[in-house]
């Protein structure tokens, strides 16, 4: 069985003080249950602080929002895998649509980062998803296939199993417009079918595919109960410690 994984992508939010205040409330609300894997992905500036807060906490893992593929060197403004490892980071979000559209990240770049993350024992959360124009133009499957082939090129089946895929339809991010459970399930099933074709059925059955895009406590149960939805990548609603804990609780309830 695939363990569900709920991650908080804080994006460019949360100072050190705000991060501390978040965990004071969140850890109490979260409790000790470990049925669902929980990941918090702060901005780089808060990684060390959050890592310290989580040092003895078994219920929450640390993630980063991006990284460069090279080991070190003249790359002003960038961060490498080794620097993240040093802070006990487990996961790294790669190819988020905001990185793709605002910062020009291509599938080729996302692929280099994914391979570098895996080579350094970081688990990539690779984001894919179509725009509204692509959905309206019946391009969803073509876009997802291209992103899967490009972003995940060269991964072994074992590496694929270590990778989490986040299906985030661009039109649902930060818009309050969530994909319906049926729309999300159809996309997830297609992604899994592609993985089975390109790697093998066994690896495809093990890969966790998260949904992202306006996830909140009230729509969590309907999305997370879909057979191919294995978790959520939560933006806006993850900034509120009670709301994010509620998203985890809603997911746990489905497994009870």
Phi, psi of 139 (to 5 degrees): -105, 5
Among 36, 38, 79, 233, binds ligand 13P (CB under 6 A): 233
- Rule CB under 6 A: say whether 214 interacts with ligand 13P: yes
Distance between CA atoms of residues 198 and 192, nearest Å: 10
The set of residues, in sequence order, having a beta carbon less than 8 Å from that of 65 and lying 6+ positions away, is 9, 10, 11, 41, 43, 44, 92, 93, 96
Distance between CA atoms of residues 107 and 119, nearest Å: 18
- Rule CB under 6 A: say whether 228 interacts with ligand 13P: no
Mask: binding to ligand 13P, 236-255, rule CB under 6 A, as x and -? xx------------------
Strand partners, 200: none
- C-alpha distance from residue 216 to each of 7, 112, 237 (Å): 12, 32, 6
| Part in contact with ligand 13P (CB under 6 A); list of ranges 111-119, 167-175, 184-192, 246-254 | 167-175
Count of residues in contact with ligand 13P, rule CB under 6 A: 14
Distance between CA atoms of residues 116 and 124, nearest Å: 9
| Part in contact with ligand 13P (CB under 6 A); list of ranges 52-60, 68-76, 197-205, 212-220 | 212-220
- Rule CB under 6 A: say whether 234 interacts with ligand 13P: yes
Of residues 122 and 203, the one with the C-beta less far from ligand 13P: 122
- C-alpha distance from residue 220 to each of 25, 38, 53, 244 (Å): 20, 14, 27, 10
Of residues 94 and 203, the one with the C-beta less far from ligand 13P: 94
| Part in contact with ligand 13P (CB under 6 A); list of ranges 23-31, 129-137, 141-149, 213-221 | 213-221
Mask: binding to ligand 13P, 34-73, rule CB under 6 A, as x and -? ----------------------------------------
For residue 184, the surrounding DSSP H or E stretch is helix 181-198
- Residues labelled as active-site residues: 96, 168
């Amino acid at each position: 069985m695939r363990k569900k994984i709920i991650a908080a992508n804080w994006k460019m939010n949360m100072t050190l003080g705000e991060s501390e205040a978040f965990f004071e409330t969140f850890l109490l609300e979260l409790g000790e249950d470990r049925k669902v894997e929980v990941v918090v992905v702060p901005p780089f500036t808060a990684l060390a602080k959050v890592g310290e807060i989580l040092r003895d906490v078994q219920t929450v893992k640390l993630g980063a929002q991006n990284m460069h593929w090279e080991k070190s060197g003249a790359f002003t403004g960038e961060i490498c895998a080794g620097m993240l490892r040093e802070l006990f980071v487990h996961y790294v979000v790669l190819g988020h649509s905001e990185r793709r559209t605002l910062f020009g990240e291509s599938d080729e770049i996302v692929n280099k980062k994914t391979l570098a993350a895996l080579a350094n024992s970081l688990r990539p959360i690779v984001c894919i998803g179509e725009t509204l124009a692509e959905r309206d133009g019946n391009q969803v499957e073509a876009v997802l296939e291209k992103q899967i082939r490009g972003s995940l090129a060269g991964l072994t089946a074992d590496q694929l199993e270590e990778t989490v895929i986040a299906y985030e339809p661009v039109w649902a991010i930060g818009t309050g417009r969530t994909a319906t459970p049926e729309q999300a399930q159809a996309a997830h099933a297609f992604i899994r079918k592609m993985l089975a074709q390109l790697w093998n059925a066994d690896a495809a059955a093990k890969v966790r595919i998260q949904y992202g895009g306006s996830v909140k406590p009230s729509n969590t149960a309907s999305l997370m109960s879909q057979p191919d939805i294995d978790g959520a990548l939560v933006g806006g609603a993850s900034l509120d410690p009670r709301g994010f804990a509620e998203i985890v609780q809603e997911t746990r309830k489905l497994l009870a």
